[in-house]
Chain A
Amino acid sequence: MNESPNNSVLEIWQSQPVEVTKMSAEVLRKRANKLEHRVWWRNAREYAASLGAAVLLAYSFATTHDLLSRVAFGLFFLGLIWIGVQLHRKGSAKSMPTAVDTVSSLRFYRAELERQRELVSSIWSWYLAPLVPGFIVYTIGHAIRVPHPAAWAKLALLDAMVALMFLLIWRLNMRTARCLDRMIHELNGTN
């Protein structure tokens, strides 16, 4: 093989003009801290939202005298706990050691993407389904407590909106699963 064309390409590549980034230790620390704070706040927001919903449901459970409504709030509460446990168990992102070789890092990414795909494609079973019993019992309880056609119509509208929201969440997650699938496919065969 004639090496000169390749050497020229290497020379062109290595001698390309670049503006070298200089970051002081202070700037590096600030950026690293900013990243850590962003992750901390994101987790804190998620936990605060879950805690807020749990407190609200617990309060509703304690103050409602109607038996079916209490059962419904109890089921919602249990559903939320189930979702939280599943999210913590399956959804926690693992951080990759930064200096592993490429083959190992790609293996790690693939495993992470597959885990995320499993999580989003099974959204129905661990995220949506646990809330359904609560909605059903709440609907029945409300329909019995307020036996008026107008109230039933409102209830039907509310249920339809919830069903629509569930459908939307499910479809969005299926789209994400397809996207992840494509990324996994791209990574397959690279080693």
Chain B
Amino acid sequence: MSAIETIPARASTPDELYQDAARAYGPALERLARAYEADPDLRRDLVQEIHVALWRSFKTFDGRCSTRTWIYRVAHNVGASHVLRQSRTCFPALVGLEELENLPDTNSDPDRTHILDRLLQLTQRLKPLDRHVILSYLEGLDAAAIGEITGLSTSNVATKVHRIKHLLARWFQQGGKSDE
């Protein structure tokens, strides 16, 4: 749990809440934007758009959910709108987790850069809901937190996370070794 979780919502102004959120979750927001936009210039715009949405959203923050859930919800929703907006002009086919599991792994090199590149490429192809789940998982959130952000049931999240783990293990393992 980050420091921002301990800040009582009513004790802070929206500006202060935003500043704390930006400080605590800035890197996570950057990583999230990477999974939504491959182009660096468009990504910079997307990150700024997320920050503006977050800043504006804190005016209506009522403390009914944790600030972490609030921040991830806002960021994912801005990311999803960005993808939908972009898809009006150029439309790469988005896939679900189950389809992703069947994609052949063309390179089993476990190098960090390769893993990161592949993670980004694959998350950028995922449908919005699966993308939210995988990104939340990669940020280290548990099933209950992912469920709160996405609105999915815990069992549904657990199924998706199981698939994600299987998928990640498959990419990560060299030489076709099984993780399970």
Contacts and interface: CB of A to CB of B under 8 A. Distances in A.
Interface in B42-74: 44, 47-48, 51-53, 55-57, 60-61, 65, 70, 73-74
Contacts of B53: 98
A38 to B, nearest CB: 13
Given A1-B180, A187-B128, A22 B151 contact: no
A105 B172 contact: no
A10 B140 contact: yes
A3 to B, nearest CB: 8
Nearest to B35: A13
Nearest to B165: A6
B143 interface: no
Interface stretch (A80-88, A161-169, A178-186): A178-186
Interface in A5-61: 5-6, 8-10, 12-14, 16, 18-23, 25, 28, 31-32, 35
A16 B31 contact: yes
B15 A25 contact: yes
Contacts of A13: 31, 116, 119, 138-139
Interface residues of B, number: 63
A8 B93 CA distance: 29
A106 B53 CA distance: 17
**DSSP majority for the B interface?**
helix
Listed residue (A9, A18, A179) with the most chain B CB atoms within 10 angstroms of its CB? A9
B150 A101 contact: yes
A104 interface: yes
B62 to A, nearest CB: 10
Contacts of B172: 5-6, 8-9
B52 A100 contact: no
Nearest to A107: B151
A5 B30 contact: no
Contacts of B78: 98
A190 B169 contact: no
Given A16-B116, A100-B73, A109 B84 contact: yes
Contacts of B132: 102
Nearest to A104: B151
A185 to B, nearest CB: 10
Nearest to A29: B55
B27 A102 contact: no
B138 A14 contact: yes
A23 B22 contact: yes
Nearest to B25: A20
7 contacts: A9-B115, A25-B18, A32-B52, A99-B70, A101-B73, A102-B80, A103-B152
Interface of B: 15, 18-19, 22, 26-27, 29-31, 34, 44, 47-48, 51-53, 55-57, 60-61, 65, 70, 73-74, 76-78, 80-81, 84, 87-88, 91, 93-94, 96, 112, 115-116, 119, 127-130, 132, 137-140, 148-152, 165, 168-169, 171-173, 179-180
